[in-house]
Amino acid sequence: MNHLTSALLTIILLLLLIKSALADDYPNTIGPFAPIITVGTAISGVIDARFGDVDVFQIKLIAGRTYRVTMQALSPPDPTFDTQLTVYDSEGTQVAANNDLVGTNAGLEYTAPATGFYYIKAQAATIYVGGTYALAVIDRVPCSAGCSSKFYCV
More confident residue, 73 or 150: 73
Q: Please state, in angstroms and as integers, the Cα–Cα distance from residue 128 to each residue in 29, 48, 54, 83, 135, following that order.
A: 18, 8, 11, 12, 20
In 3D space, the residue among 71, 42, 61 whose CA is nearest the CA of residue 131 turns out to be 71
- Which residues, at least 6 apart from 128, have a Cβ–Cβ distance to it below 8 Å? 49, 50, 52
Distance CA 29, CA 44 (A): 18
Domain limits for position 147: 25-153
Q: Answer for the pair 66, 147: CB distance below 8 angstroms, yes or no.
A: no
Question: Is 49 inside a domain boundary?
Answer: yes
pLDDT digits (tens, 9 = 90+) for 122-153: 999 888 888 899 999 999 876 555 554 444 44
pLDDT value at residue 136: 96
Looking only at the bridges linking them, the beta strands covering 36-37 and 54-61 are parallel
Which residue, 76, 54, 66, is CA-closest to 125?
Answer: 54
User: 106 falls in which pLDDT band (50, 70, 90)?
Assistant: very high
Contacts of 36 (CB under 8 A, 6+ apart): 57, 58, 59, 60, 117
Question: Can you give the pTM of this predicted structure?
Answer: 0.76
The residue ranking higher by pLDDT, 152 or 89, is 89
Which stretch of 14-23, 83-92, 105-114, 137-146 has the lowest confidence by average pLDDT?
14-23
Is residue 2 one of the residues assigned to a domain? no
Domain CATH for 61: 2.60.120.380
Give the chain's domain count: 1
